[in-house]
Amino acid sequence: MNEPHFDPRNIHVESDGIRPWEHHDNFNDVMAEQIRQAPWYMISIAIHGIIALILATVNTAGKEKKKDEVVAIQQPEKIEEIKEEEEEIVEPEPEVEPEPVLQDTEIVEEQTEDFTEMEDEKQVDSAFDSDAFNDVVGLGGGAGGKFGGRGGGRRRLGRKGGRQTAEAIRLGLEWLKNHQDSDGRWSCAEFMKNCPQGDICDGPGNPINDVGCTGLALLAFLGDGSTMRGGPYKDVVQKAVLWLKDQMDDEGLIGMDSGHSFMYNHAIASLGMVEAYGLSKYLTLKPYAQKCVNYISRARNPYKVWRYFPHDGENDTSVTGWMVFALNSAKEFHLKVDADALKYAEAWFEEVTDQNTGQAGYTKKGEPSSRKEGLAEKFPHEKTEAMTAVGLLCRIFLGQDPKNNPVLSAAAETMLKKKPNWNPADGSIDMYYWYYASYAMFQMGGRYWKNWRHALEGALLKPQRRDGHAKGSWDPISAWSDDGGRVYTTALGVLTLEVYYRYSRLIR
């Protein structure tokens, strides 16, 4: 008798589990495991999803086309775009150069020259990220507010037909860069130690003014768009700021409180420090900028302005002009500023100004510009309107408008009678006057700026040195060149030519 044939398929085993041959992973399981194994997969999926949505939109927009044409055209695009995104995801990020940080001298006194990475990464944005256009050379206020869109200003100036001016600025900055000391300063008396043997530049100044001339040179590089964060002269700016910071005492004074020029030096250096802070967006520089601004506020005479020494009861238009610009810049960059200081400065310019001619006096109405002893004959008072220019520019930056105050137009008319003229024989070279007046006339605009600009270009472009190691500089034969030497005239020359883009137009 034959045994019944055994068929295992007839055996039934009760079980709640999934049979091995029936097991399969669902989509969610697979994705969860892949995400656990590779975090970047999630990012890839998200990007693929975005691309799919974009392609779906394109497909919908083109649904009137034949279906086979859509598939033939769009499918390669989908594959190509996905590959590009995948490569972008896995590509390693480029190394970022560490940003310099100024250590607080009260905390890390011995590390003032060290550079480490900034703690607040939110401050990395450039101060020059606007493409807005200005009336003259195509640079608007943008992120810089009153300070214009300095980044790329020289390049755009060249495209607007000002190639000679743009090149003169470049050459001047190159000369300054090549004569900066390794510690960051510009030495008025010994800058020539940076010259090669056999090609030594002449024209030394007084070393007591190193702080002020370093401030002027720093402002020239900042005016061209370089900051502590970027630009072709970033290293130059960094070294200059560090040196000025190291000259600051506990009270906020930059330099030594000696002589009749230290308040000038402090004001100019403070303006450089404030601009370096504001334009570079460096939070670590803020306490130093604030400290030097605080010194300016404390040094002012009660109910008046400034002169050679803190609250000594004497006042003058020249020192006050630099102080106003330092405070005005500090206000723009949201530092704490004594509002009374700007109020009394405006009252001072009103007090010393002739309402008919717009002429501003030095220490009182009708008094001409100051001259060092023995230089009044060489540089006659009647050749300049320096104090008028200071008064006019300060009034504009303090908010006055010629449409509401006719004395501004009167001052501009007076200055047009004494336009720039490079004539060493008659004592008409006054770089200090030309600097203030050029910025004032640019703000006034119209025929004032047109007539002034024509004279200015003739006075500055042709005399600029184009030979040897002095190439790019201006000879120190100006009214105050004995004090600052070749560094002073060159820094002021560059700053004056940067008028096209250093500040935005305030008068509309």
The 3 state secondary structure assigned to 247-283 is: CECCCCCECCCCCCCHHHHHHHHHHHHHHHHHHHCCH
Length of the chain (residues) = 508
How confident is the model over 278-297, as a mean pLDDT?
96
Domain 109-500 grouped into CATH 3.40.1190.20:
no
Classify burial at 91, counting beta carbons within 10 Å of its beta carbon; exposed 0-12, middle 13-18, buried 19 or more. exposed
Pair of tokens at residue 465: 């040195």
Nearest-5° angle of CA 473, CA 141, CA 294? 75
Q: What is the DSSP string of 93-124?
A: PPPPPPPP-PPPTTT-GGGTT-----S-GGG-
* Res 411: pLDDT: 98
- Band (pLDDT 50/70/90 cuts) for residue 139 is very low
Q: Is the pLDDT of residue 296 over 60?
A: yes
Query: Mean pLDDT, to the nearest integer, of 442-469?
Result: 97
pLDDT at 14 over 50: no
- Let me know: does 142 contact 128? Beta carbons within 8 Å: yes
Q: Which one has a higher pLDDT value, 475 or 6?
A: 475
Give the per-residue pLDDT at 128. Answer: 26
Question: Please, are residues 293 and 281 in contact by the beta-carbon 8 Å criterion?
Answer: no
Q: In the predicted model, is pLDDT for residue 286 greater than 60?
A: yes
> With 90 as the cut, is the pLDDT of residue 184 above it?
yes
Q: Which sequence spans correspond to the domains of the chain?
A: 27-89, 109-500
Average pLDDT over residues 347-366: 98
Res. 324: pLDDT tops 90 = yes
Mean pLDDT of 342-356: 98
With a cut of 50, say whether residue 496 has pLDDT above it. Answer: yes
What is the pLDDT confidence band of residue 141, given thresholds at 50, 70 and 90?
A: very low
How much is the pLDDT for 122?
33
How would you label 220-229 residue by residue, b for 16+ Cβ within 10 Å and e otherwise? bbbbbbbbbb
Higher pLDDT, 498 or 30: 498
- Quick one: pLDDT at residue 30? 44
Contact 335, 290 (CB under 8 A): yes
Where residue 85 falls among pLDDT bands split at 50, 70, 90?
very low
**How confident is the model over 391-399, as a mean pLDDT?**
98
Q: What is the mean pLDDT of the chain?
A: 80
Position 71 confidence tier, pLDDT thresholds 50, 70, 90: very low
